Amino acid sequence: MRELHMPGFIDLVRVLFRNYYRGVDLSEVNDLERREFGFQFFDREGMIRHMAFRNSDELRHYLVSNVPSHVYYSSALYNDPVNPDMDAKGWLGADLIFDIDGDHLPTQNCQGVELMTLECLSDATEEVNKLIDSLIEDFGFSDSSIKIFFSGHRGYHVHIELSDVRGLTDEERREIIDYLLLRGFDMERLIRGNAVLIDARLRGIGGRLASLIHELDPDLLNSLSGRRRLGKYVIRKLNSLNPVISERLSIHVDEVVTMDVHRLIRMPNSLHGKTGLRVVRVSPSDLERGAEFIIDRAVQFRRGSLTLRITRKLPVRRVLGEDVVGEEGSVIKVPTYVGIYLVMSGWGEPVD
């Protein structure tokens, strides 16, 4: 995180963060004493890591006393989480974690967008819905075993903390990623002699393929019914859809996050130091209510306002659901949470 040379403003943000952490809900941090923690701060570069806490009260005391800008914990559980030697920590397994970030989505709303927009977050919301459907329909996870968190910025983290997945190796996690990304997908693998595994009644990729083919070419889908041997013409037409299938059905997760069995991920209910928003757990019904509702769930610091100068032309009119009107160099007054986001993200500077 870049160092910010605005002592008065940073002091204000520290006070707000400290007050938040006095009452922070740490119930989402399971197996707390077995996890490694890492922290970044407002006034220094780099990260302090290889820390551990015996219980939530000890962790809360550290947060209030030191007021970090970012809080992370390990997806892994360890015998000795404070040991700086990764091989000596005593790895006990790791949660299965997925990260969907608007920065990485190949959509028009997200490409090249520096400021978080509701449109880009909407695309990330659609992507996380695709992921949840696949985890349930294809992998057989129950909806109750899947935890969804808004990341506090442009995307979502999905956690599965079951003992059945904690022992997965990085290579086994790679296979999951390859499936989600449709890496090496071949339409003809779903055509086995007289069996055509493309049918709306099927769960998983076969059912989703049928729905997409029906949207693109209903007559082609009809030609697949009856499970009879397909002619070369039909197979060629199916193969011609491979590019659009990969674009529409692949799920754009950050593969490094999922594969790394020692990964540090943002702690649930912590504050994102670049936005001031909370890493908040959301439900599938919350996702259905849209990006603006998700932002509203994550917003803290609603009281009061901040006066700031816009230092760069804003690419959007609405910031965190609020209208922000002003040209580069103009002085505006905005709600506190909007001002924190604009200043910490480098779009504005506080005016005394």
Rounded mean pLDDT for each run of 10 residues along the chain, 352 residues in total = 66 97 97 98 93 98 98 98 97 98 91 87 96 94 97 96 96 95 80 71 83 86 70 81 85 96 98 96 96 95 95 89 90 95 93 82
In the set 43, 57, 101, 296, the catalytic residue is 101
If one counts the domains in the chain, the total is 3
Residue 5 lies in a domain: no
Closest by CA position to 190, among listed 144, 155, 230: 230
Closest by CA position to 242, among listed 183, 295, 285, 283: 183
pLDDT number for residue 4: 54
Residue 331 lies in a domain: yes
In the set 43, 87, 95, 99, the catalytic residue is 99
pLDDT number for residue 209: 86
Residue 55 and residue 23 in contact, taking contact as beta carbons nearer than 8 Å: no
Residue 297 and residue 121 in contact, taking contact as beta carbons nearer than 8 Å: no
Residue 94 lies in a domain: yes
Q: For residues 144 and 261, state if they share a domain.
A: yes
Range of the domain at 145: 20-167+255-300
Question: What distance in Å separates the CA atoms of residue 333 and residue 259, rounded to the nearest whole number?
Answer: 44
pLDDT number for residue 217: 85
In the set 11, 123, 217, 254, the catalytic residue is 254
Domain CATH number, residue 333: 3.40.5
Q: What is the DSSP letter of 75?
A: S
Q: For residues 156 and 272, state if they share a domain.
A: yes
101 is catalytic: yes
pLDDT number for residue 194: 59
Q: For residues 296 and 306, state if they share a domain.
A: no
- Kindly list the distances between the CA atom of residue 343 and the CA atoms of 9, 102, 241, 308, 349, in Å, as whole numbers in the listed order: 9, 21, 46, 8, 5
87 is catalytic: no
Judged by DSSP in three states, 223 sits in coil
Q: For residues 200 and 335, state if they share a domain.
A: no
Q: For residues 293 and 306, state if they share a domain.
A: no
Bridge-based pairing of strands 76-78 and 191-192 is: unpaired
pLDDT number for residue 64: 98
Question: What distance in Å separates the CA atoms of residue 213 and residue 125, rounded to the nearest whole number?
Answer: 23
Residue 180 lies in a domain: no
Closest by CA position to 152, among listed 310, 51, 304, 298: 298
Residue 172 lies in a domain: no
323 is catalytic: no
Q: For residues 211 and 137, state if they share a domain.
A: no
Q: For residues 210 and 327, state if they share a domain.
A: no
Residue 173 lies in a domain: no
pLDDT number for residue 23: 97
Amino acid at residue number 34? R
pTM higher than 0.85, yes or no? yes
